[in-house]
Structure 1
Amino acid sequence: MDYAQSVINRLKRIEGQIKGVLGMMEEGKDCREIVTQLSAARSAIDRTMGVIVSSNLEQCVRESVEKGEGTEHLVKEAVELLIKSR
């Protein structure tokens, strides 16, 4: 599967957030600030996983429809992936 540049950019921003948290820890910042930043990074990761799964689902459904195949199993698999990621 090809990943959109927007998804790659999201992950690069998350990488920057994590590096920022490491810097905060090295500076001895307050734990509340660190936890807040980690929570923001986790939320960004969750949203990115949703984007990846939905993009993949869209592509797979399109291919299945073109082949005349059913798509129910694809939707079920996507939902299971999202549930598993929680």
Structure 2
Amino acid sequence: MTQEYSPEIKNRLKRLEGQVRGVLRMMEEEKECKEVVTQLSAVRSAVDRAIGFIVAKNLESCIREANDMGQNAEDAIQEAVNMLVKSR
């Protein structure tokens, strides 16, 4: 099934893109290592939240689809868990 991505998640990724550009700018300005790492940690956290959001929305869609077809959603749930584990 093809996933439709909402404007909300696209906006999250655009903000992430801006954060990464900000880290590059900090490096070009030769900012302290601690400041750069702090910002990179914030980027990583934001990426993790984006992954969780996408997986949750996909899972929600798969469960609805399984219910509509009278099927069990266990496979979709397991796949979502596997995606989250692999993303770490």
Quickly name the TM-score band, shorter chain normalised: over 0.9
- Per the alignment, residue 18 of structure 1 pairs with 20
- Tell me how far apart the structure 2 counterparts of residues 33 and 68 of structure 1 sit (CA, whole Å): 52
Residue 28 of structure 1, CA deviation = 0.4
Question: Are 2:30 and 1:35 aligned?
Answer: no
- Per the alignment, residue 63 of structure 1 pairs with 65
- Spell out structure 1 runs of 4+ moving beyond 3 A: none
Residue 15 of structure 1, CA deviation = 0.3
**TM-score normalized with structure 1 length:** 0.99
- Per the alignment, residue 51 of structure 1 pairs with 53
Question: What is the percent sequence identity of the aligned residues?
Answer: 56
**TM-score normalized with structure 2 length:** 0.96
Matched length: 86
Q: Specify every segment of 5 or more residues in structure 1 that has no aligned partner in the other structure, as ranges.
A: none
- Tell me how far apart the structure 1 counterparts of residues 43 and 8 of structure 2 sit (CA, whole Å): 17
Provide the alpha-carbon RMSD of the alignment.
Answer: 0.4
Q: Specify every segment of 5 or more residues in structure 2 that has no aligned partner in the other structure, as ranges.
A: none
